[in-house]
Structure 1
Amino acid sequence: MQTRFVLLQTSHAGNVGAAARALKVMGFDDLVLVAPRWPDVLTREETVQRASGATDVLAKARIVATLDEALDGITYLCATAMTPRDFGPPTFTPRAHFPAIADAGHRVAFLFGSERFGMSNEDVYRCHAALTIPTDPGYGSLNLAAAIQVIAYEWRMALGGFAAARAGQAQPRADAQAVSGMLAHWERALVDIGFLDPASPKKLMPRLNQMFNRAQLTPEEIHILRGVAKAMSEAGAKLKR
């Protein structure tokens, strides 16, 4: 099953190397960095040292400019946002939530925020679920690499460990880029028919994002929804004539 670990605006090179090591010991190697502090972070001395031999993961890792690029092909997003948001996806512990994702046959991405600022609300709103790691209430601070290690371990166990492989028969899911493009199309259409005021959008689009995430759309359903958006825009244009 495709599994990707995405690090957003990482500021410490050593954490990238430690993340690569954490992934390798759990049998994962799809690491993507979004706008890291250091453009050469994958080859910096501190990174390589902290990887402790996981140089193949570093060699395969990619650096991209935007989160959209990092999510190509992904159908289910998990935010590792330890601080609850006032609005957003439901929050689960990894052990409670992972079996259901594994059984659904998704292409999964785990998103980790920057060491200094964590994840932005906008990025969390895009996700299907927020993950919280149970820690001592008096001290819940986890190093980035430690958090990645816990998530990677729990996900590997949900996949059956190293002794089992799952063969899912689930329908293919639309990837995150397709959902994002469809939402942008809907936003334009809702403005065209006068339903959405771009000067005061409130939380309409994040709420629609969450609704469509729960629906677990297929590529065919994305195509249908884009057709609906196109029809709405055409109807709006006729009304304005």
Structure 2
Amino acid sequence: MRTRFILIQTSHAGNVGAAARAMKTMGFDDLVLVAPRWANVLRREETIQRASGALDVLANARIVETLDEALDGVTHLCATAMIPRDFGPPTRTPREHLEPLAESDPPQHVGFLFGSERFGMRNEDVYRCNVALSIPADPNFGSLNLGAAIQLIAYEWRLALGGFPLNESVAPTQAADAKAVAGMLEHWERSLVQIGFLDPEAPKKLMPRLQQLFNRAQPTPEEIHILRGIAKSMADTRKGAGSADTPAAPSK
């Protein structure tokens, strides 16, 4: 499934850079600019700064004079328009339209068409499209920055295509075995007795409750090590306090 993002008469260089960044984050790299305000827009400092490293998308981008040139090879064209046009293509939300489009057979060469920041899309350009995608924004304030609109459409299209796998923030951990948990609980029981928190003559349900707590928590071996260290520190602190409370031997 090939994908092209087409920007018509873009007036702000920064929006071209933002478009490149939005595309790259979703894995797309075919950008075509139709008669932008600046002939050197792909090399302007503001464009490069707003691209935030998506320089390969800028390097691959093309500038053409007409929409016909930009549409070469495109078989399914999507306009992005807030207001439906009379006699225009059907208006749908991105998710409603793009999910079935991603499963089309044979695969389409999809184009997403974005109008100028100053005057949006002309009716005649919308009429050329198969669908008008309307982002379901607040109807009282539906105006989106061009870069933001491209990011939303790129995200919805990538989602329809299957998305990217999530990267685990940390390596998966393995729970400590039952023997290690039992040893830690025995250590805690001794320390709790030593500090006076647990009465061995009337233990009640303290240790079974702690057993259930750690069964639910499924501590790792490293966490078991930490918990045993805490138990040792509690007992050592109690011993030190006991020594300090012992009266000193009378001097001779």
What is residue 79 of structure 1 aligned with on the other side? Answer: 79
Which amino acid counterpart does residue 134 of structure 1 have in structure 2?
A: P
What is residue 45 of structure 1 aligned with on the other side? Answer: 45
Which amino acid counterpart does residue 25 of structure 2 have in structure 1?
A: V
What is residue 93 of structure 1 aligned with on the other side? Answer: 93
TM-score, normalising length from structure 1?
A: 0.67
Which amino acid counterpart does residue 31 of structure 1 have in structure 2?
A: L
What is residue 164 of structure 2 aligned with on the other side? Answer: 162
Give 5+ residue unaligned stretches, structure 2: 166-252
Distance 1:149 1:11 in 2: 18
Q: Please state if 1:115 is matched with 2:117.
A: yes
Partner of 1:20, secondary structure, is helix
Any idea what the Cα deviations from partners look like across 1:108-165, whole Å, max 9, x if unmatched?
00000000011101100000000000011221110000000000000000001125xx
What is residue 14 of structure 2 aligned with on the other side? Answer: 14
Distance 2:2 2:159 in 1: 15
Percent of aligned pairs sharing the same letter: 77
Displacement of 1:28: 0.3
1:151 to 150, 153, 173: 153
Distance 1:6 1:25 in 2: 17
Distance 1:137 1:23 in 2: 26
Distance 2:75 2:164 in 1: 23
Partner of 2:149, secondary structure, is helix
What is residue 58 of structure 2 aligned with on the other side? Answer: 58
Number of equivalent positions? 163
Displacement of 1:82: 1.1
CA RMSD for the aligned pairs?
0.7
- Could you say which structure has the greater relative contact order, defined with CA pairs below 8 angstroms and 6 or more residues apart? 1
Distance 2:50 2:40 in 1: 15
Which amino acid counterpart does residue 92 of structure 1 have in structure 2?
A: R
Which amino acid counterpart does residue 19 of structure 2 have in structure 1?
A: A
What is residue 31 of structure 2 aligned with on the other side? Answer: 31
Which amino acid counterpart does residue 158 of structure 1 have in structure 2?
A: A
Any idea what the Cα deviations from partners look like across 1:170-214, whole Å, max 9, x if unmatched?
xxxxxxxxxxxxxxxxxxxxxxxxxxxxxxxxxxxxxxxxxxxxx
Displacement of 1:101: 1.1
Which amino acid counterpart does residue 73 of structure 2 have in structure 1?
A: G
What is residue 189 of structure 2 aligned with on the other side? Answer: none
Distance 2:97 2:70 in 1: 23
Partner of 2:99, secondary structure, is helix
Distance 2:76 2:125 in 1: 13
Distance 1:77 1:138 in 2: 27
Distance 1:120 1:101 in 2: 25
Displacement of 1:89: 0.3
Structure 1 range deviating more: 154-163 or 27-36: 154-163
Distance 1:136 1:73 in 2: 35
What is residue 220 of structure 2 aligned with on the other side? Answer: none
Q: Please state if 1:130 is matched with 2:132.
A: yes
Partner of 2:103, secondary structure, is helix
Which amino acid counterpart does residue 13 of structure 1 have in structure 2?
A: A
Distance 2:13 2:83 in 1: 24
Give 5+ residue unaligned stretches, structure 1: 164-241
Displacement of 1:100: 1.5
Partner of 1:33, secondary structure, is strand
Distance 1:24 1:87 in 2: 34
Which amino acid counterpart does residue 156 of structure 1 have in structure 2?
A: R
